[in-house]
Amino acid sequence: MSELKTKQTDTDVHEFINSFADSEQKKQDSYELLKLMKDLTGDEPKMWGTSIIGFGRYHYKSERSKQEGDWFLLGFSPRKAAISLYVYTGLPEHEYLLKDLGKFKMGKACIYIKTLADINREALKNIMAVTIAYWQDKYHKPETR
């Protein structure tokens, strides 16, 4: 069984944003996302791997393999091409949540946006609230660290 490479680190989140975000707009959006995700989770932001900012934590065990590990409830990364939002379960029963989100692209595990101005903040908050509730229900109460 391979070990999960993306783990929580002690890297400073603010230093990461200031050095990694390639535009003032991405920095502004990143700081707005920090506040929004902290307000929704009640958790402090932590770096996961070298480029993901995550909030909260839960321990999962895969139903299809022997894979298990820790993962964040919500997260994002201000990547060069787009901001990657790790805020969605990807489940078919949650697709309705994307209807009012605005301008975005979907990846396998995340939502890509150019800027927060392109999306509906209330729809984003709703997606995040449903995602938090889903992970809490599936894996019980998440750990915060």
What residue segments make up the domains of the chain, in order of their start? 8-139
Give the bridge partners for 60, in sequence order. 69
d(CA 105, CA 84): 10
pLDDT mean over 70-85: 95
Q: Coil, helix or strand for 45?
A: strand
8-139: CATH, from 3.40.50, 1.10.10, 3.90.1150, 3.30.1490: 3.90.1150
- pLDDT, averaged across the chain: 91
pLDDT tens digits, one per residue of 3-39: 667 889 999 999 999 999 999 999 999 999 999 999 9
The span from the first CA to the last CA of the chain, in angstroms, equals: 26
pLDDT tens digits, one per residue of 114-145: 999 999 999 999 999 999 999 888 887 655 54
Cα 118 to Cα 81, 82, 103, distances in angstroms = 15, 12, 5
How much is the pLDDT for 121? Answer: 97
